[in-house]
Chains A and B, each alone.
Chain A
Amino acid sequence: MDVNMLQNILLTIATASTPLLLAAIGELVVERSGVLNLGVEGMMVIGAVCGFAGAFITGSPWIGALAGILAGVLLSLLFGFLALSLATNQVATGLSLTLLGIGLSGMIGEDFVGRAGIRLPRLDLPVLSDLPLVGKLLFGQDPLFYVSIALTAAVMWFLFKTRTGLTLRSIGDNHKSAHALGINVLLYRYLAVMFGGACAGLAGAHLSLVYTPQWVENMTAGRGWIALALVVFASWRPWRVIGGAYLFGAVTIGQIHAQALGIPIPSQLMSALPYLATIVVLVLISRDRRLTVINTPASLAQPFVPDR
């Protein structure tokens, strides 16, 4: 295998992993604040269609990406209103967000099916991007790749090196004590949920502006759910999310290459691999109670109503 081919495979893996990383790092912050938003898939698919629509209408993929973020935030606010202000069951509310997002995206996207999309331009630096093996990997990827890595580093720094991050984590572990200390639990949670929405929306926009620049109904194909699984897989640690996302990116790309090579395994079985891999990985992680039970934010998915 020559160097260019290896680089191309690594590039496609990075492209497949970026939306998973973006969505998962957002949900990680949400869950660290003690909120379980199962609507990642819905916010992602809305981000995908609004990202495409924004780029298609204005001609600028950058505006598309912004539209994706905005759409994700708006949908997350709907979740926030119910799950936080009205203290509804978070599992059911998140599910309804996913159902609504899938329906809404189908409706919005109807006129965009089959239209040619606009791709976010890749970074192109003189000399640096043309270096052998690492040039394109380090200096020639789509902008959202760099965003995803920077965001992960920022979240890591925010959660574990800042006071606000500490407060956020304390809310996730014990919202009653945090409330008793005078911390505005719901405000922190609203902000975390909106951050999660922005990340999921951007992840969706990555799909329709970078990964496959077009709009296909249901194009997220369960990636939002895989992102949720990645947060568990990472046992709520940001840097582990990178590892998980790239593992899944590699499985996805691997099965596509295997299908292209004509390996005599039914294509449906190959397509099922990422989902099966998710289950296997979840089992391997959660059987070790030290990794999950201890790291799980203790208030996760429990509604909180401030008393007076």
Chain B
Amino acid sequence: MRLELIKRPQKSALYSAISPLLALVLTLLAGFLIFSLLGKPPVAALHAYFIEPLSEAWQLHELAIKAAPLIMIAVGLSVCYRSNNWNIGAEGQFIIGGITGSLVPILFPQFQTLFTLPVMLLLGFIGGAAMGAIPALLKTRFNTNEILTSLMLVYVAQLFLDWLARGRFRDPGGNNFPGSIRFPESARLGEIFPSHGSAHWGIVLAILSAIIVWFMMRFLMKGFEVKVLGGSPRAGRFGGFSSTKMVFFAFLLSGGLAGLAGIAEVAGAIGQLRETISPGYGFAAIIVAFLGRLNPLGAIAAGFVLALTYLGGEAAQMSLGVSEKVARVFQGLLLFFVLGCDTLIHYRIKFIFGEAGKPATAKG
């Protein structure tokens, strides 16, 4: 048996709409299989994984906490990938943003005003953007592959944070545990509804950034430029667009949003600079971006789905004794299915059985 792709005359509107849903269904089926193989009752396991974490108000707050960084990073990555630039170092930009934003409460703990938090958020954005600028500079100046450089910088950022949290930025009163001082109230991103749960304003920031970037992509010249240069660099050049500037725009925006997500996580959910501040948000956000069809608004919905895989992993570990690492497997499979289903948008898939399957071109 072989399968053959037949180009559709135009993009299938049907599959454009349902391909992410199809991918989700396939992921659930794969989950059924995985849980069966692990010897767990699959239906109960899927229920514990995907439904139970949504049953109480405080859990929805947890979902929002996890979704906030994923959405914020994925919004930037959507634009970046649309422009055909491959920033896969968002995890590192997230970390650097967390560090630069934390400089304020750690180095100037007495600076506690209404401006403290805005300055921190701004610094976080700048830090992430600066980190993103490195692969952009190396790509435009030296023609260096941005995939590899941005990824390498993730390891560098992780080690740098580890060094800071154990060394220079360690809380002197912290009994030698790694981690900075706890941030004062003025340097914290507050909770939205403190009486119901612990979700902080990060999720609002995330949705706002998604709407702003969506508006830019939909209605502003810059958005058009991103799509033209991403679709056909040659056409873009004829149109007078600069691909060098686009590389910087894509990396500064995606790096900046990742940095903003980093400081929002540190000032919101964590409250101090620790030696690790991310359970792989920067990589999971790549999946969010693709599941959201590289559309900033799509990233909002996709962000909640990926946040659920994190929560489900924790829940499944507690109630079923399944390793929480199953979450990473679900995330990886989800991206596989998303990419596979997207093929249906441009192609019909034909299965060919037996001898008829010989390639017609073999005659030469």
Contact = CB atoms under 8 A, between A and B. Distances in A.
Interface of A: 38, 78, 82, 85-89, 91-93, 95-97, 99-104, 106-107, 110, 179-182, 184, 221-222, 225, 228-229, 232, 266, 268-269, 271-272, 275-276, 278-279, 282-283, 286-287, 289, 292-293, 305-308
A222 B156 CA distance: 11
A287 B144 CA distance: 7
B14 interface: no
Given A91-B86, A225-B151, A306 B359 contact: yes
Interface stretch (B223-231, B263-271, B336-344): B336-344
Contacts of A110: 323, 325
Interface in B58-116: 86, 88
Interface of B: 3-5, 7, 86, 88, 138, 141-145, 147-149, 151-153, 155-156, 159-160, 162-163, 167, 283, 286-287, 290, 323, 325-333, 335-336, 339-340, 342-343, 347, 349, 359-364
Contact of B331 (A103, A276, A278): A103
Contacts of A266: 163, 167
A87 B4 CA distance: 10
B361 A182 contact: yes
Contacts of B363: 182
Contacts of B336: 78, 82, 93, 96-97, 100
Contacts of B333: 100
Contacts of B361: 179-180, 182, 306, 308
Contacts of A97: 332, 336
B156 A87 contact: no
Contacts of A269: 159, 163
B340 A103 contact: no
A305 B348 CA distance: 12
Nearest to B333: A100
B232 to A, nearest CB: 14
A182 B359 CA distance: 9
A84 to B, nearest CB: 10
Contacts of B143: 286-287, 289, 292-293
Contacts of A104: 328-329, 332
A89 B338 CA distance: 11
B343 A86 contact: yes
Nearest to A270: B159
Nearest to B364: A182
Contact of A229 (B141, B148, B156, B323): B148
A48 to B, nearest CB: 15
Contacts of B331: 99, 103
A225 B152 contact: yes
A219 to B, nearest CB: 14
A14 to B, nearest CB: 24
Nearest to A101: B332
A229 B329 CA distance: 26
B360 A308 contact: yes
A282 B148 CA distance: 9
Contact of B362 (A89, A182, A286): A182
Given A92-B290, A305-B5, A103 B147 contact: no
Nearest to B141: A287
A38 to B, nearest CB: 7
A271 B194 CA distance: 42
A86 B350 CA distance: 11
Contacts of A101: 332
Smallest CB-CB A-B distances: 9 pairs:
A103-B328, A100-B332, A96-B335, A106-B325, A268-B163, A268-B159, A99-B332, A287-B142, A103-B329
Contacts of A95: 88, 286, 335
Contacts of B287: 96, 99
A89 B88 CA distance: 15
Contacts of A289: 143
A103 B327 CA distance: 8
Nearest to A179: B361
9 contacts: A92-B286, A99-B335, A100-B336, A106-B325, A222-B151, A225-B152, A228-B148, A275-B152, A293-B143
Contacts of B148: 225, 228-229, 232, 278-279, 282
Residue of A78, A88, A107 most packed against chain B (CB within 10 A):
A107
Given A106-B325, A225-B152, A268-B162, A88 B343 contact: yes
A127 to B, nearest CB: 44
B343 A87 contact: yes
A96 B325 contact: no
A95 B335 CA distance: 9
B145 A282 contact: yes
Nearest to B81: A92
Contacts of B286: 92, 95, 99
A232 B287 CA distance: 26
Given A222-B155, A268-B163, A271-B159, 8 more contacts: A88-B342, A95-B286, A100-B332, A179-B361, A221-B155, A229-B152, A308-B360, A308-B361
Nearest to B275: A268
A268 B362 CA distance: 57
Contact of B152 (A78, A99, A278, A292): A278
A243 to B, nearest CB: 18
Given A184-B359, A275-B156, A99 B145 contact: no
Residue of A228, A268, A287, A305 most packed against chain B (CB within 10 A):
A268
Contacts of B149: 279, 282-283
B294 to A, nearest CB: 10
